[in-house]
Structure 1
Amino acid sequence: MSTVSSSPNASAPSRATLTRRAAIASVSSATVLLVLKAWAASATGSVAMLGSLADTGLDLLSSCVTLYAVWLAGQPADEDHRFGHGKAEAIAALMQTLVILGSAVAIGVRAAMEIGTRTPPQRADVGIGVSVVAVALTLCLVAYQRHVVRMTQSIAIVTDQVHYESDLLLNLAVIAAFALEAFAGLHGADAVFGIGIALYLAYGAITSARAALDMLMDREWPDEKRQTLLGVVARHPQVDGVHELRTRSSGVVDFIQFHIWLSPEMSVRCAHDIVDEIEADVATTFPGAEIMIHIDPLGHYDRPQVLRA
């Protein structure tokens, strides 16, 4: 088996520094917004702001848990974890989805109960002002995350970036709720937007849970990605066929194993050189992957092993 390191634009030490700074920026931004939105939710009594507050709290939790999970996933394989610690990210994601779903249900129930029975939120200026600050701060954070992603190709930061980009929509929804209640006189808009935010949180949680379960269950790669891999292997002129292809991902590491058919008359040295060439080609297309290639003489199929007492 061959393990090939990825080749991002930044060197290993600077890559670690950049990703750590991006994570710290994410945690810091979420902390500031959590304080501001807690004050705004208390001052306005807005369900939409409460939903935005819950999402920011989950952002902070997510950033902290992800930071630890990425650190753990990046630890090298050891005697007890021969395939590394990559699935720590998926376990952390599942834990977060339970918290997110619980918050979504609580916000949705409260908003539904208060439709048509509650007074409109107070201090619209506070709610709108805090939401505008949240939009500005989130835009700055996303811009910095994009810079770090260009330098490091970090999947963890990419995921965090996508999450914060979606927060922009939430903050705009809160602004719309306050504007409709305070200036258009559409009472109940705040509660309706609260329900919408709850549904959005639930959808995001379910989507994250599916991705995490796919990783924990060693789901095969999508067909398009598998076909790309097969195309790379098939380009080698002395490979007569590929079979027993198995793929999975664990954290940021891809695992690839397959059998190739070579001429039965080929020497061991020549077969070894061919495998090295194929590994190098695959590693170029899938940086950082762990690759295991088994050689079979042309036309040979492995027979299922029968275990006997």
Structure 2
Amino acid sequence: MQRSGAATARPMPIQTLLKWSVAVAVVTIVLKTLAWWLTNSVGLLSDAMESFVNLASALFAIAMVTIAQRPADEDHPFGHTKAEYFSSGFEGLLIAGAAVAIIWAAIRRFFEPQPLQALDWGLALAVVSSALNGLLAWRMMVAARQHHSIVLEADARHLFTDVWTSVGVVVGLFLVKLTGWVWLDPVLAIGVALNILREGTRLAWRSVDGLMDTAVEAEVREQIDRTLAQFAHHTIRFDHLVTRRAGQRRFLDVHMHMPASWTLGRAAALRADVEQALMSEVPGLRASIQLLPTDVEAHFNDPEDPL
């Protein structure tokens, strides 16, 4: 079966990317904290606080990915891949907590405005840290699609949010410098907090949704349907197809109907070919195929999905 070069390229390991995330978080914490210390801007303080969240999230993600990669055992026969959802949920809660702290600090600054200093240096440091986060976020999002990893996707989306946060802070502080309106700084910080609160809520919901055994992604379902269609003809048909996902793993249950006159060996050989084709097309897929004679129907509450 032919596959594109992009699909067969070996992606960077998840843990390696998360370690890079830790390193970048440490660097951006230093840069943004220095920018806040130089300028006394609560907007830059809010930006620095989000980088602390990035660091904590990346460290927790490494722990959860390590657990998720453990092999199946007697107590967890389907593996530990759902541990990834705890990481994204934890990250969402951290983001929400940081947003509340930022709003509190911004409200106090709004009623007790203070002059800003050394804005040129502060803006330059914020731009450098944003560039680092943007580059890492882009690389992690690419890898998240390759690995089907919610951990990498959550971290990448959080970093993208951090980038847009920094862009908003830089633009706002530039306006403060032009206009002298110091009150823009806390207003900007509140806007940043509301934005990251929205992202944190979305990440937490995705974590909860993933723990409820959702179906595979639309593109993965298309790959499955296309593969089964290669084997379906007037004597072979598939129905009662059900999918679910758990972290990086994908699961498929389907009935394969064939002539009752076939020997068990012939039927088992065809099933093996179908399973191999499915696993080749969708890495990480675990397929469970039940063999049935053509004239026998299994009745479940699930609707039929003939192919």
Normalised by the size of structure 2, how large is the TM-score?
A: 0.83
Query: Residue 202 of structure 2 aligns with which residue?
Result: 207
* 1:72 to 2:67 alignment: yes
Could you say what secondary structure the match of 1:72 adopts?
helix
- Following TM superposition, by how much is the alpha carbon of 1:87 offset from its aligned partner in structure 2, in angstroms? 0.8
Q: Does 1:125 align with 2:116?
A: no
RMSD: 2.9
Q: Give the length in aligned residue pairs.
A: 293
The residue aligned with 1:28 is: 23
C-alpha distance in 2 between matches for 1:139 and 1:92: 21
The unaligned stretches of length 5 or more in structure 1 are 1-6
Q: Which moved more, 1:135-144 or 1:179-188?
A: 135-144
Following superposition, the deviation at residue 53 of structure 1 comes to 1.2
Aligned to 1:9: 9
Q: Structure 1 residue 228: deviation in Å?
A: 4.1
- Cα gap change, 1:270 to 1:213, in 2 (>3 Å): same
Deviation at 1:278, TM superposition (A): 1.3
Over 3 Å counting, the alpha-carbon distance change for 1:82 and 1:90 in structure 2 is: same
Q: What are the superposed Cα offsets for residues 81-122 of structure 1, whole Å, 9 maximum, x if unpaired?
A: 111110111012212222211221232244345446523433
Partner of 1:267: 263
Deviation readout 1:223-280 (Å, 9 max, x if unpaired): 5643542332133135643332221111111111111222222211111122112112
C-alpha change, 1:142 and 1:202, in structure 2 (3 Å) is: closer
- Mapped to 2, the partners of 1:268 and 1:208 lie a distance apart of 48
- Tell me the equivalent position of 2:292: 296
Does the 8 Å contact 2:244/2:250 carry over to 1?
Answer: yes
Q: Hey, what's the Cα distance between the residues in 2 that align with 1:136 and 1:237?
A: 50
- 1:72 Cα deviation from its structure 2 partner: 1.3
Structure 1 residues 100, 140: closer, same or farther in 2, change over 3 A? closer
C-alpha distance 65-111 of structure 1, shift in aligned 2 (>3 A): same
Query: 152-161 or 30-39, which moves further after superposition?
Result: 152-161
Q: For residue 4 of structure 1, what is the aligned residue in structure 2?
A: none
* 8 Å CA contact 1:120, 1:190 repeated in 2: no
Corresponding position: 1:281 with 2:243: no
Aligned-pair distance for 1:58? 0.9
Pick which of 168-177 and 114-123 moved more: 114-123
Shift of 1:218: 0.5
Higher relative contact order (CA 8 A, sep 6+): 1
Moved beyond 6 Å, runs of 4+? none
Q: Give yes or no for contact 2:223–2:282 (8 Å, CA) kept in 1.
A: no
> Match for 1:278: what amino acid?
V
**Structure 1 partner of 2:242:** 246
**Contact (CA 8 Å) 2:90, 2:204: kept in 1 or not?**
no
Q: Secondary structure at the match of 1:174?
A: helix
Q: Which runs of 5+ in 2 are unaligned?
A: 1-6, 302-307
What one-letter code is carried by the residue in structure 2 that aligns with 1:63?
Answer: A
Partner of 2:3: none
Q: Say if 2:216 and 2:250, in contact at 8 Å, map to a contact too.
A: no
Name the TM-score, length of structure 1 as normaliser: 0.83
Q: Determine the structure 2 residue equivalent to 1:174.
A: 169
One-letter code of the match for 2:256? I
